[in-house]
Structures are given as C-alpha cells and as structure tokens.
Amino acid sequence: MELLKAYMPVLLNKIIKHTKYFTALFLIIMLMACDNKSSNKQATKTPTPPAPPKQEIVEKKPTIPIVKKDTLLVKDVINEKNVRRFFTEYGKKNPETKLLLKTRLGNMHITLFKETPLHRASFIYLIKNGYYNKTCFHRLVKNFIIQGGWSDTEIVQKYRSQLNNYRIPPEFRKGIIHKKGALSATRRWVNNPEKKSNPFEFFIMQTSVDCSHLNFEHTVFGQVTSGFDVIDKIINQKLDGNSEWPEVDVDIEFEILD
C-alpha cells in the first residue's frame, strides 16, 4: 500500500500525458470531419453546370430561280445604269397610251400619260412581254386603293429576276395628282432616297378623299377613264383571313388598244 502511494504521482502524470495526446488526436479528427462536411455542403450548393452543347448557326438564303438561256422570258438586259436610256429609246418605237384592263369582275379603260415617258414605256414593255398577264390584284384596301402586279407563282419571280428588278427614276409632275382612278407606281420606302418606282406593281386609287400626301411620293402615270364601278367591285371582294389578299384571285389581263 505504501508502495502504491509512492508510485501514484508518476502514474497520474503518465495518464494525464497520454490523455492530452488522445484528446488532441480526437480534436484533430473531429475538425477534419467537420471540414469535410462543410466542403460537401458547399459542393452541393454550387454544382458546376454542364457545358452547353455547341450549335451550328446556318444562314437561310433566298431561293433564286435558276433559268437556262434557252428558257429566257425576256431577251433585254435592263439595269440601274441603262434604264433611262433603254426606255427612252423603247418609248420612241412603242408610243401606245390606250389600254383595256380585263378582270372577271369587268373591264376598265386606262390612258397612260405622255408626261411620264419612262413609266409609260416600262408599262407598255411589261405588257408586251407578258408579265402583267401572269399577275393579279393582291392588295385591296377599302376606301383607298387596289394594288396589282404580283403573284406567288414561280414565273413572276423569273420575270423579275431576269429583268434585274430594275427601278425607274421618279417622274413627278405638277397637276398630275392622286385622285379617284389614278394609276400610280409603288416604290420601296426604305433605302430609296431618290424615290425610284417599282415597275412591276401598281395601284389604282379607289377613294375620292384627298390623298395629297401621296403626291410627289409616288409617280402617277395614268388614269382610269371608264369602269370605275369595276374598281369598287374588286375592292369589295372577300379577303383571305386577316390579309389584304382577296379570297378568290382577281387575275389581270391587259390589252393594248392604241
């Protein structure tokens, strides 16, 4: 017993020493475990998103009809550079001004103005080359206009393509205005500061209301002289849904009278 009492301080020191070692080891293990848990929680909160799949962007190109030389609808070459010269010469050889416009709803007589020689010559040229007889009235706006010279058929696209979609310089004339029955040229409003006309499409005024805002914006190059009731019949056709296109096509057929 006396021996145990004498050895007790030494034994206690060893126990305390080893206890500190195990305590320290235990604390280190616990800290590492907590750190791992923290890391796992952090990884769960902010997962790395997968890389998005690569997408190839393809540009859609407009369809241009391929026309063989032996199937040309027109033989002439008309472009922005020679359009004035071409129709000045063509107009001298083709001086006609009187037209008959035939539709399933009736006919109209039209006079083309000599005061607008380029537009007159271009209109006669397209009639003689059969362009307008492939088209219809495609836009009807009540109390305003009927617009024609377009069709969604391939042959119309071929005509325009072969003629290089040429444009006509404006021929504004004082006193020639947009009134009921006026025949006027359409035009592009964007990127067209010179107000050049689109020769392929035209519109006829149906309204008697003042439309002076159109003067010196569109070239008036003709006038309906009879058949005003036909204009009204055309404009009152039932439209195809919410469009301005008639439900049943009103085809165009021109005849040159004089």
Mean pLDDT of 90-103: 98
Confidence of residue 68 (pLDDT cuts 50, 70, 90): very low
- Count other Cβ atoms within 10 Å, centred on residue 218: 21
Distance (Å, whole) CA 95 – CA 54: 63
Mean pLDDT of the chain: 82
pTM of the prediction? 0.73
pLDDT of residue 149: 97
Mean pLDDT of 98-111: 99
The per-residue pLDDT for range 124-171, each reduced to its tens digit, is 999 999 999 999 999 999 999 999 999 989 999 999 999 999 999 999
**3-class DSSP state of 147:** strand
pLDDT of residue 60: 28
Distance (Å, whole) CA 188 – CA 30: 80
pLDDT of residue 177: 97
The per-residue pLDDT for range 214-242, each reduced to its tens digit, is 999 999 999 999 999 999 999 999 999 99
- Count other Cβ atoms within 10 Å, centred on residue 160: 16
Helix axis angle for 83-93 and 117-128, nearest 10°, is: 70
Q: What are phi and psi of 160, to 5 degrees?
A: -65, -40
Nearest CA-CA partner of 204 in 168, 180, 236: 180
Highest mean pLDDT among 38-42, 73-77, 110-114, 148-152: 110-114
pLDDT of residue 102: 98
pLDDT of residue 155: 93
Number of residues written out for the chain: 258
In this predicted model, which residue has the larger pLDDT, 25 or 174? 174
Confidence of residue 50 (pLDDT cuts 50, 70, 90): very low
pLDDT of residue 9: 52
Percent helix, strand, coil in the chain, to 5, is: 35, 20, 40
Mean pLDDT of 26-32: 49
The per-residue pLDDT for range 183-207, each reduced to its tens digit, is 999 999 999 999 999 999 999 999 9
Least confident of 58-62, 86-90, 253-257: 58-62
* Cβ–Cβ under 8 Å, residues 131 and 161: no
pLDDT of residue 75: 86
Confidence of residue 72 (pLDDT cuts 50, 70, 90): confident
